[in-house]
Structure 1
Amino acid sequence: MMEKAPSQTSSDPEKTHNGSGELSTFSDVAPIDPALERVVWRKIDFWLLPVVSMFYFLSFLDRSNIGNARVAGLQKDLKMTNQQYSIALTVTYVPYIVAELPSNLLLRYVGPNLMLPTMLALWGVVTTLQGVVHNYSGLLACRFFLGLLEGGVFPGLVLYLSFFYPRQQLQWRISLFFSTASISGAFSGLLAFGIVNMNGIGNRPGWAWIFILEGLFTVVFGLSTYFLLPRTPSHARFLNENEKAYVVARLRETGATGHDDGADDFSWREVWQACTLPQVWMLAVIFFFDGVVLYGLAYFTPSILQGLGYTATRAQLMSVPPFATAFFVNLISAYISDRYHCRGFVTMFTCTLCVIGFAMYLGSQSASVKYGSLFLSITGTYCAAPALSTWSANNAAPHARRATAIAIGFIMTNSGGILATWLLGALSPPPLYRKATITLLIMSILMVVVAGMNTYYLWSQNKKKATIRATISRSEEKPGLGDRSAWFIYNL
């Protein structure tokens, strides 16, 4: 789906195409070596993706397992009202949002190999402590520090992967680790189903053991990752020197890193430039709406199922199939998006699934149809998120601008999470959540519309850039334009 520039001769190094036919973003083009292509990305996949996937799996599990604990008796034992439960969720998101931009800007300089494991181990400690709270105030304190420590995780992981993969290979990898969120939704229900049977052991209720066991595992895994994550491709022990040089050259060629080492240095000017990009703010709107939908379903699916007539235990199990379906569809949509370079169209399609799902839930009186609608709405929102994340990372450069763009997207996502905690909490009472469903339906429709607007905008900008490339050479262009360079092709 990316616009291709007119064919150029290989004798013009400033207008050279890479092997996929895409116009290279920079002039120092490294020839594609098919043998190295197969080896280097496979090695990086093997070493990085399992660790990154587990990071996000535990992040989402430890943040959303409060929904399972609620069904298992947390709200009743701590004598919380629905409003207080919503406040507890909101308290998580305030520090979460505040932490996202600073952590993303610091990630490259502190080192993701140090910063990410530290955050993981510390929030595991806080998750564990939720299992020993005796009152509402204690829960609020834990939720605050959980949000503070987790805030930089998802944008940080997206930014971290952009250090290792060319732009056109990024969504499959982001989708692979993000799909663990849907797995965590499925696994959380199964895990909670088993753990609540520990009720009474150690004089603690079953919901407390959900937090304790899941938190302790997070701590142990976090400590182990100090030895697993490389700082950059140049620090990757699993790559030889030739492979390291090839990866760095490919990243520069496709615009994943700057044209020279200085291009990716931190600059407040680049932070500001990110805030002036139209595509950043159109995506920010979609991120906000998707955050409302995604976190609403993550936190309240067990409660929604309980409202459909299932027992608390049965509701935990019934939440598994929709999230499992989202996992598999996510991988398929990511493959299509990377293969055909169509982030916008994938986003529009997955958001349309949300529209159909919420319309079904709203329009039917049948519990079976309402349950079936969750397969569409959960799948739609969990597939839209990685497409949006990749779309954002693909269309901003250099590093500081990209880090800021990604952080803005996730600030908006988690702002949507705040609204979700109230929308399906105190503002729209169970069991049917009618007001919430209408709101989510409208937001899903708007996501489709704004995604179409952003796709058209990027397409029109690519047309203008093609005209500029036909009239000037790369050396005549003003330096430091980043993604606004005529040689930077926006990903549609």
Structure 2
Amino acid sequence: MASKRKELPKTSVPEGDTLGKNGLFEKERPSIEQVETYQPPFTPKEQTQILRKVDWRLVPLLSFLYLVSFIDRGNLGNAKVAGLGEDLHLSGIQYNIAVTLFFIPYSLLEVPSNIILKLTRPSIWISLMMFSWGLVITLTGIVQNFSGLLTIRIFLGVAEAGFFPAATYLLTVWYTRYEVQSRMVFFYAAVSLAGAFSGLLAYAIQMMDGVAGLQGWRWIFILEGIFTVFLSFFIWFLLPDSPNMASFLTTKEREFIILRLEQDTGSGRGKVTNNDKVNKRQVIAGLTDWKVWAAVFMYWATSISSYGFTYTVPTVILELGYTAANAQLLTIPIYVVAMIFTIANAMISDHYQQRTPFILLGVSVGIAGFSALLAIPHPQLPGLTYGMLFLATSGIYMSLVPTLCFVANNLAPSSKRAVGMAHLICMGNLGGIAGSNVFLSQEAPHYWTGYGFY
């Protein structure tokens, strides 16, 4: 006769537990069997309140940092409209070359950066990166010629390389598989807001033209760079590294976050851990997993147009007959609408626990927008051209977040996930090299290659 399986007691976290130096609890952690029967010592309402505490501490901070990052990376387009090209005597495709060079170190260093992230702490590594790229942006304001611009863009690519993969990985350490995209989208919506704020800031800052004998476009780099350097000193203390080390949570709340993540396996077997150490085997696994390579092609579908389009939108609007100042301002509504569509698409995706249909939805919207831009007889119908910029931009951003989450949801343990996500972003950002060279000045105002590449 088969023996009846003894029911294991439900576990709870003793009041006296404290965190040790390695981030684990001093007393014995629950066994795998106990974790499977773990019942949180909180009501559903209290569990929601704990997650809201994490949301408010982590998501707005990362979103703001990415907003700053994207503004610093993309302000070259605003500076061009404000007179950078004329003052540095850029001709032909020299502007495109300057944009392109950024992406070479930016792409190649993302995987090494996430490996360093796993060996150190996110708060330390991210604050160091911010200080570095803020310093580089500030120095861009004193560039005098084309060769100087190329040099400074290479250094900016080195400094910014690790931030995006580090931030997206950090979100996966805190949230379950079908919670992460609803949070990541607010982080990634900062890309849309960055386009809006970048135009607004550039519009205001370029009014300083002549102050201290400097052109307005130089002040765009100097002021935005100094702000980033200043901000980096606070990130060291404000950014939480992991649930194990979250000082803003109680001991029981930390245990609740850790154990619910351990049970979020997708298969219903085993457990998930974010405390594993990076090793050679996990690095190779993250670089060779077929799911990452499948996602790379999906990422390329939008990253090429995303990077090229971001640097070109102010110029496209300028060519519709608006002044440089108004061209900066008119980029704002485009990115705000894109942000709204991106958030809606991601939250519905999490609700239905699906990724692929929502990737395809974004791609379809983008195709419709770019096809219309190809068909419009430029420079006629400027209003219709401006309207289609909304559709094209929304489609680009709608599909990127589900693609990232597709990979994040399917890689474990955390070391493999950190490398795999960085590898995806690395390969995807190589699309920035192509994107920087598909919107060609000699094709203005039609941009056949740029609009047609999507």
TM-score range, shorter chain: 0.7 to 0.9
| 2:117 counterpart of 1:107 | yes
How far 1:87 moved relative to its partner? Answer: 1.2
Change (3 A) 1:97 1:12: farther
| 2:127 counterpart of 1:117 | yes
Once residues 305 and 286 of structure 1 are traced to their aligned partners in structure 2, the CA distance between those partners, rounded to angstroms, is 28
Once residues 259 and 296 of structure 1 are traced to their aligned partners in structure 2, the CA distance between those partners, rounded to angstroms, is 42
Kindly indicate whether the alpha-carbon contact (under 8 Å) linking 2:263 and 2:272 is maintained by their aligned counterparts in 1: no
Which residue is 2:386 aligned to?
A: 371
| 2:434 counterpart of 1:432 | no
Which residue is 1:177 aligned to?
A: 187
How far 1:314 moved relative to its partner? Answer: 1.7
Deviations 1:252-287 (A, max 9, x none): 111399837698221222222233432211110111
Kindly indicate whether the alpha-carbon contact (under 8 Å) linking 2:185 and 2:342 is maintained by their aligned counterparts in 1: yes
Once residues 310 and 336 of structure 1 are traced to their aligned partners in structure 2, the CA distance between those partners, rounded to angstroms, is 37
Once residues 312 and 352 of structure 1 are traced to their aligned partners in structure 2, the CA distance between those partners, rounded to angstroms, is 32
Deviations 1:101-160 (A, max 9, x none): 001112122110100011011111111111111122221221111110111111110111
Kindly indicate whether the alpha-carbon contact (under 8 Å) linking 1:280 and 1:392 is maintained by their aligned counterparts in 2: yes
> 1:384 is matched with which residue: 392, 399, 403?
399
Once residues 92 and 318 of structure 1 are traced to their aligned partners in structure 2, the CA distance between those partners, rounded to angstroms, is 26
| 2:365 counterpart of 1:353 | yes
Kindly indicate whether the alpha-carbon contact (under 8 Å) linking 1:195 and 1:210 is maintained by their aligned counterparts in 2: yes
Kindly indicate whether the alpha-carbon contact (under 8 Å) linking 1:101 and 1:408 is maintained by their aligned counterparts in 2: yes
Alignment of 1:58-69 (within 5 A): 58-69=68-79
- Give ranges in structure 1 of 5+ residues lacking alignment: 1-9, 14-25, 441-492
Once residues 405 and 11 of structure 1 are traced to their aligned partners in structure 2, the CA distance between those partners, rounded to angstroms, is 41
Deviations 1:366-394 (A, max 9, x none): 22222111111101111211221111111
Which residue is 2:350 aligned to?
A: 338
> 1:255 is matched with which residue: 260, 265, 274?
265
Once residues 117 and 313 of structure 1 are traced to their aligned partners in structure 2, the CA distance between those partners, rounded to angstroms, is 33
Once residues 260 and 253 of structure 1 are traced to their aligned partners in structure 2, the CA distance between those partners, rounded to angstroms, is 7
TM-score by length of 1: 0.81
> 1:399 is matched with which residue: 414, 432, 435?
414
> 1:168 is matched with which residue: 172, 178, 181?
178
Alignment of 1:22-421 (within 5 A): 28-29=35-36, 30-31=38-39, 33=42, 34-255=44-265, 259=271, 264-365=276-377, 366-421=381-436
How far 1:425 moved relative to its partner? Answer: 3.2
Kindly indicate whether the alpha-carbon contact (under 8 Å) linking 2:196 and 2:333 is maintained by their aligned counterparts in 1: yes
Kindly indicate whether the alpha-carbon contact (under 8 Å) linking 2:320 and 2:382 is maintained by their aligned counterparts in 1: yes
Change (3 A) 1:328 1:211: same
Q: Residue 143 of structure 2 aligns to a residue in which SS?
A: coil
Q: Residue 64 of structure 1 aligns to a residue in which SS?
A: helix
- Give ranges in structure 2 of 5+ residues lacking alignment: 9-31
Change (3 A) 1:176 1:258: farther
Kindly indicate whether the alpha-carbon contact (under 8 Å) linking 1:71 and 1:312 is maintained by their aligned counterparts in 2: yes
Once residues 200 and 255 of structure 1 are traced to their aligned partners in structure 2, the CA distance between those partners, rounded to angstroms, is 59
Kindly indicate whether the alpha-carbon contact (under 8 Å) linking 2:99 and 2:153 is maintained by their aligned counterparts in 1: yes
Deviations 1:287-307 (A, max 9, x none): 122110111111110111122
How far 1:12 moved relative to its partner? Answer: 9.3
Change (3 A) 1:261 1:435: closer
Kindly indicate whether the alpha-carbon contact (under 8 Å) linking 1:61 and 1:188 is maintained by their aligned counterparts in 2: yes
How far 1:38 moved relative to its partner? Answer: 1.0
Q: Partner amino acid for 1:288? A: W
Once residues 6 and 406 of structure 2 are traced to their aligned partners in structure 1, the CA distance between those partners, rounded to angstroms, is 32
Kindly indicate whether the alpha-carbon contact (under 8 Å) linking 1:322 and 1:378 is maintained by their aligned counterparts in 2: yes
Deviations 1:419-477 (A, max 9, x none): 11111136x6222101221112xxxxxxxxxxxxxxxxxxxxxxxxxxxxxxxxxxxxx
Kindly indicate whether the alpha-carbon contact (under 8 Å) linking 2:205 and 2:220 is maintained by their aligned counterparts in 1: yes
Once residues 220 and 227 of structure 1 are traced to their aligned partners in structure 2, the CA distance between those partners, rounded to angstroms, is 13
32-41 or 385-394: which moved more? 32-41
Once residues 113 and 263 of structure 2 are traced to their aligned partners in structure 1, the CA distance between those partners, rounded to angstroms, is 27
Deviations 1:391-413 (A, max 9, x none): 11111111122112211211122
Once residues 374 and 147 of structure 2 are traced to their aligned partners in structure 1, the CA distance between those partners, rounded to angstroms, is 36
Once residues 178 and 430 of structure 1 are traced to their aligned partners in structure 2, the CA distance between those partners, rounded to angstroms, is 30
Change (3 A) 1:43 1:362: same
Q: Residue 255 of structure 1 aligns to a residue in which SS?
A: coil
How far 1:343 moved relative to its partner? Answer: 1.5
Q: Partner amino acid for 1:38? A: T
Change (3 A) 1:252 1:275: same
Q: Residue 90 of structure 2 aligns to a residue in which SS?
A: coil
Kindly indicate whether the alpha-carbon contact (under 8 Å) linking 1:85 and 1:425 is maintained by their aligned counterparts in 2: no
Once residues 11 and 148 of structure 1 are traced to their aligned partners in structure 2, the CA distance between those partners, rounded to angstroms, is 57
Q: Residue 137 of structure 2 aligns to a residue in which SS?
A: helix
Alpha-carbon RMSD: 2.1
Once residues 198 and 330 of structure 1 are traced to their aligned partners in structure 2, the CA distance between those partners, rounded to angstroms, is 34
Q: Residue 319 of structure 1 aligns to a residue in which SS?
A: helix
Once residues 372 and 6 of structure 2 are traced to their aligned partners in structure 1, the CA distance between those partners, rounded to angstroms, is 58
Once residues 210 and 100 of structure 1 are traced to their aligned partners in structure 2, the CA distance between those partners, rounded to angstroms, is 27
Kindly indicate whether the alpha-carbon contact (under 8 Å) linking 1:291 and 1:416 is maintained by their aligned counterparts in 2: yes
Q: Partner amino acid for 2:113? A: S
How far 1:76 moved relative to its partner? Answer: 0.7
Kindly indicate whether the alpha-carbon contact (under 8 Å) linking 1:36 and 1:243 is maintained by their aligned counterparts in 2: no
Once residues 108 and 392 of structure 2 are traced to their aligned partners in structure 1, the CA distance between those partners, rounded to angstroms, is 29
Once residues 44 and 37 of structure 1 are traced to their aligned partners in structure 2, the CA distance between those partners, rounded to angstroms, is 11
Kindly indicate whether the alpha-carbon contact (under 8 Å) linking 1:133 and 1:139 is maintained by their aligned counterparts in 2: yes
